[in-house]
């Protein structure tokens, strides 16, 4: 994931910052506890496609 792109991308719901989980290839919004998939280097920023993070799932830093 390009660092410049990551700097300008925000959560489509709350407009908050996103964390890139390289191991899972996801962009994570900690505030909304949603994970957006990155497919072939392209973030899928649709709320309907986001994965809800369970309460017990650790969110990296």
Domain boundaries, the chain: 3-52
For residue 1, pLDDT beyond 90:
no
> pLDDT at position 6, please?
87
The pLDDT, as a whole number, for residue 61 is 56
Report residue 60's pLDDT band, with 50, 70 and 90 as the boundaries.
low
Q: Given CA atoms 50, 19, 1, 25 in this order, what sign does their dihedral have?
A: negative
CATH 3.30.9.10 fits 3-52, yes or no: no
Question: For residue range 2-52, what is the model confidence (pLDDT) as tens digits?
Answer: 788 888 999 999 999 999 999 999 999 999 999 999 999 899 999 999 999
Q: Provide the pLDDT confidence category of residue 57 given band limits of 50, 70 and 90.
A: confident
Measured distance CA(17)–CA(59) in Å, rounded: 13
Q: Are strands 42-43 and 26-29 parallel, antiparallel or unpaired?
A: unpaired
From residue 8, give the alpha-carbon distance in Å to each of 17, 53, 55, 56.
9, 23, 27, 29
């Amino acid at each position: 994931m390009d660092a410049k792109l990551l700097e300008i991308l925000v959560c489509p719901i709350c407009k908050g910052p996103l964390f890139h989980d390289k191991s899972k290839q996801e962009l994570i919004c900690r505030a909304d506890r949603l994970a957006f998939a990155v497919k072939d280097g392209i973030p899928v920023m649709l709320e309907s496609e986001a994965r809800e993070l369970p309460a017990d799932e650790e969110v990296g830093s």
